[in-house]
Structure 1
Amino acid sequence: MPAKNAADIPGVCAANVFTSPKSIRLEIKSAPKTHRYCIVCKKEGNKRHRLIKALDVLQSSKQHEYFSRTDITNLLNDLRTIMKMTSSRLNFDIPALMTEENYNDLTALSEDQFSDLLGYMSTVRSSGVRSVRTCLGVFLTKLRVGLSNKILGTVFGLKTSQVQRIIHAARRTLMETFVPHTLGFQHVSHGDFVTNHTIPVAKQLFTTDPRQAVIVLDGTYIFIQKSSDYHFQRMSYSMHKHRPLVKPMIIVGTDGYILSILGPYFADGHNDASITKHATTNNLENITAWLQDDDICIVDRGFRDAVQYLEDQGYMVKMPACLSGKKEKAVNNEGS
């Protein structure tokens, strides 16, 4: 009898590599094996139409599939290779690779808090490059550690341009969904703020009416890098701190609850008093409708030029008494 070719022998491929027969049945649903046409609408796929929406209405044509021992071995080897590649990188999509300490170090949130914040990312769509979890994780890591986009791309296995798009998408989404519910004068009512965010000591020291709100105002600094834009560089350079910065105005309750953050403002020509006047005059965040007559504003001496202005608006201002000079201080020390 003439010898058979290797390709004619069952279980043997042309390259003389033995493969086992497909005799192992697994309860895995499957669909027709095609990558060119959509198995639902038969539409031809291309780079512009990736047929992702069809997966939502996908129906299986088989309730089980047969595999060979070789197929299962290859599947396990491929899975092992993928795990080796991903285990060397941070991956928010694989919970087993992220510990509670990883979440806290990278995002300053716990895993549960991260999951809660993820609920506000519903308008962000997953893509073949990154998921919604990765989008949020990269954005929070950027805020937390301040790494460059290039380094973040190396850490998370992304291109620098992809990191840029991720940060832009996450920021825009959270500004639309999360921030309005947690920050600003309109996210909490005047009555709820008085009841829940005014400590008893503040009520006893400053208020005469239980309906009065007590807010604490103070400006702070966010240091930034020197800009290559000369005009922006001049506006952001602080003669007081001798470095570029921007100045947000923080408004909190007496228990430390952040009511609102106004700004940020440029460093040139803006102090606490001028920022306060600007916010009130322009009614930022509808602040004049939220504040009521005789509400208490606790400030420091940086607001001394705005005290009379605030009092003219109907608010009560509490500022620590400050000595006017060293001479007066010396006289008082001698008399004490």
Structure 2
Amino acid sequence: MGGRDYCCVVGCSNRRSDLPKGYAFHQFPKAPLSRRNSWIHATGRALTGKYKFVVTDNTKICGHHFVLGRKNADPTNIDYVPTMNLPLASSNAETPKRKTQASKRAIEFDRAVEHGTQSKKKKLTRTGQISYPIDINDVQHEVEVESTDPSLYTATLIIPGQNVHTYTSDHAYHKFWVHPNATKVTETGVQCQPRCENKFQQTNHVHVQQTVDAITTVQKATQVTTTSSLLQIKCRQQQKLITELSSKLQTVHKEKETLKNELSKHKFCMETLLTNDENVQIYTGLPNIATFNALLEYLRPKAERLTYWRGKQTSTTGHIGNRGRVRSLSIDNEFFAVLVRLRLGLLVEDIAARFAISKTHFSKLFNTWIRFLRLELELLFPFPSREQVNEHMPPSFAKFPNTVVILDCTEIYVQKPSALQAQRQTWSSYKHRNTYKILVGISPDGTVTFVSTLYGGAASDRFIVNKSGILNLVKEGDNVMADRGFDISDDLKKCGATLNIPPFRCGEFQLSASQVEETRRIAEVRIHVERAIQRIKTFHILNGTMPVTLTMVAEDIFKTCYYLTNFQTPIIKCEINKM
């Protein structure tokens, strides 16, 4: 083991200590048997016979014989068997048979026959003439060509005093017989020039070398023509193949576009879901498509320069500049995904799966956008002055003309903290559970104009009013409307403002008639703040119990949901239209 591992491939001397980083030693696979035999064959060892290679648990092959340095269990992968740096000739090749006495005699007989045949060949002189008289009819030349076209196998023999003879063959072999009366040799025919008319002296003066040269020229020309024809055939075949592949490629592209269009119809995104006003209200809480697009366009310039949240150490400066890697979602779909979570209260895992992104990425995206929306919406809905409130004062507030804000508190359930102090601060004696408490203020026309920070459920209404900063926004002569629990008249007097709350019994058995009438008038207009709070609860992320993991962005979620209700239809729309 360790540095003692050696590679069993023939000619390879690698051991574990010699291998570079990324390479390893691999044991022979036990199954399937075909793969095991392929490994043995690749090592250059014998599979059968006397010298059969025996594989043990310590028999290994180094990663130097794999393309990627490691074996792969996929049969379609190139590293399924060793293929690199293998021996040129495997030792498991067939062993040559041992020469016997009979085989030696057979070999000697073949050599003797070959020697006798060669000794009978005619020897030519350097001038091209034969060294001793022979019969010209014995001279035979054979040319081999590779084409199958019969038109290429044509030779012409010209003989004095006779007709021109043309020889055509439909086979790859042509035999040209040299006639003793031929005159000379050309590229298209064979002609020999006799030096003597005496037929006994013709054989001494035949230019055999010229005949051989002519046949060689014919052979070369034939081979060039044949090669050109073969190349043309291959080109036509390749062009046909290219045409077929191009047609198939176009078909695949069409199928791809069709499937892409079908997939886009079922994709969970803004483009496929926000097709009508009803869907916009279901998924985002906004009233219609026009409102969604208008809000998105208002946020887009700053959204394009967002620095995404990466934890507590994320810098809050330097938004302008490089914003990091390319977005997985467009700005439109990021905004849509955040509103979907606020409106439907879906889990992070669910939304990440719907938009085909990671859970971590959506968490960063949500934490960034919720803080961004909270800051931008606060700028859109500042606390109004008394003059601005009077411009939109409903008729039902005619008996309370100086009212600028209607206050009320609401609570939502929160997961029980592990720290005892946090448990005590969030425990609500009214809900008998751990809650977050927040102060909400609306104008007489139903617009949410003030949202405080989060407080624990143990905090009183008066404590929240004094700490939230609402008293700094109230001016002298303003009137504040609230419920009986808001005993803040003394605090408002310091600001020169007044308080409108239902009257108390003050030790009496029941309220007087005038007190009952006053309570009814206040309740008729104060109910609008309850309706506004009810609208906020339509964002289902506030339903149920808020997990402790959202503590860092809980206040941002509260305020964003409250301000988004201002884009919905007015609460007292009918009364405003009567003015």
TM-score (norm 2): 0.41
TM-superposed CA distance for 1:236, in Å, is 2.0
In the other structure, the counterpart of 1:12 is 241
In the other structure, the counterpart of 2:88 is none
TM-superposed CA distance for 1:101, in Å, is 3.0
TM-superposed CA distance for 1:88, in Å, is 3.3
Q: Secondary structure at the match of 1:135?
A: helix
Deviates further, 129-138 or 73-82: 73-82
Q: State yes or no: 1:113 paired with 2:312.
A: no
Cα 1:226–1:146 shift into 2, 3 Å: farther
| Structure-2 separation of matches of 1:5 and 1:230 | 86
| Structure-2 separation of matches of 1:191 and 1:178 | 22
In the other structure, the counterpart of 1:328 is 509
Matches within 5 A, 1:181-260: 181-182=380-381, 184-185=382-383, 188-196=384-392, 198-202=393-397, 204-207=398-401, 212-228=402-418, 230-260=420-450
Residue 462 of structure 2, aligned match among 273, 277, 295: 273
Q: Which sections of structure 2, spanning at least 5 residues, go unmatched?
A: 1-228, 306-325, 514-579
Q: Secondary structure at the match of 1:293?
A: coil
| Structure-2 separation of matches of 1:12 and 1:71 | 12
Cα deviation, 1:36-67, whole Å, max 9, x if unaligned, reads xxxxxxxxxxxxxxxxxxxxxxxxxxxxxxxx
Contact (CA 8 Å) 1:219, 1:250: kept in 2 or not? yes
TM-superposed CA distance for 1:248, in Å, is 1.3
| Structure-1 separation of matches of 2:409 and 2:274 | 40
| Structure-1 separation of matches of 2:235 and 2:460 | 86
TM-superposed CA distance for 1:316, in Å, is 0.8
Q: Which sections of structure 1, spanning at least 5 residues, go unmatched?
A: 21-68
TM-superposed CA distance for 1:72, in Å, is 4.3
TM-superposed CA distance for 1:299, in Å, is 1.2
In the other structure, the counterpart of 1:82 is 260
Contact (CA 8 Å) 1:6, 1:12: kept in 2 or not? no
In the other structure, the counterpart of 1:300 is 483
Q: State yes or no: 1:122 paired with 2:348.
A: no
Identity, % of aligned pairs?
A: 20
TM-superposed CA distance for 1:116, in Å, is 1.3
Contact (CA 8 Å) 2:273, 2:279: kept in 1 or not? no
Cα deviation, 1:233-255, whole Å, max 9, x if unaligned, reads 43222122022221111111222
Matches within 5 A, 1:156-195: 156-182=355-381, 184-185=382-383, 188-195=384-391
Deviates further, 122-131 or 240-249: 122-131
Matches within 5 A, 1:45-124: 70=248, 72-92=250-270, 94-95=271-272, 98-109=275-286, 110-119=288-297, 120-124=299-303
Amino acid at match of 1:201: S
Q: Secondary structure at the match of 2:454?
A: strand
| Structure-1 separation of matches of 2:404 and 2:512 | 35
Cα deviation, 1:116-172, whole Å, max 9, x if unaligned, reads 121213222393411111111110011111111011112222211121122122213
Amino acid at match of 1:205: K
Amino acid at match of 2:433: R
Amino acid at match of 1:122: P
Amino acid at match of 1:118: L
Contact (CA 8 Å) 1:138, 1:166: kept in 2 or not? no
In the other structure, the counterpart of 1:52 is none
**RMSD, aligned α-carbons:** 3.0
TM-superposed CA distance for 1:309, in Å, is 1.9
Amino acid at match of 1:138: A
| Structure-2 separation of matches of 1:195 and 1:124 | 33
Contact (CA 8 Å) 2:264, 2:272: kept in 1 or not? no
| Structure-1 separation of matches of 2:366 and 2:303 | 12
Contact (CA 8 Å) 2:266, 2:272: kept in 1 or not? no
| Structure-2 separation of matches of 1:5 and 1:231 | 87
Amino acid at match of 2:353: T
TM-score (norm 1): 0.68
Q: State yes or no: 1:315 paired with 2:497.
A: yes
Cα 1:107–1:123 shift into 2, 3 Å: same
Contact (CA 8 Å) 2:265, 2:272: kept in 1 or not? no
Deviates further, 218-227 or 158-167: 218-227
Contact (CA 8 Å) 2:409, 2:438: kept in 1 or not? yes
| Structure-2 separation of matches of 1:291 and 1:11 | 86
Cα 1:79–1:228 shift into 2, 3 Å: farther
Q: Secondary structure at the match of 1:317?
A: strand
Contact (CA 8 Å) 1:121, 1:173: kept in 2 or not? no
Amino acid at match of 1:117: L
What is the count of residue pairs matched by the alignment? Answer: 262
Cα 1:242–1:137 shift into 2, 3 Å: same
TM-superposed CA distance for 1:7, in Å, is 9.6
In the other structure, the counterpart of 1:49 is none
Contact (CA 8 Å) 1:220, 1:249: kept in 2 or not? yes
| Structure-2 separation of matches of 1:173 and 1:322 | 44
Contact (CA 8 Å) 1:121, 1:174: kept in 2 or not? no
| Structure-2 separation of matches of 1:151 and 1:310 | 48
Rg comparison, structure with higher value = 2
Cα 1:141–1:213 shift into 2, 3 Å: same
Q: Secondary structure at the match of 2:282?
A: helix
Deviates further, 117-126 or 225-234: 225-234
Cα 1:316–1:80 shift into 2, 3 Å: same
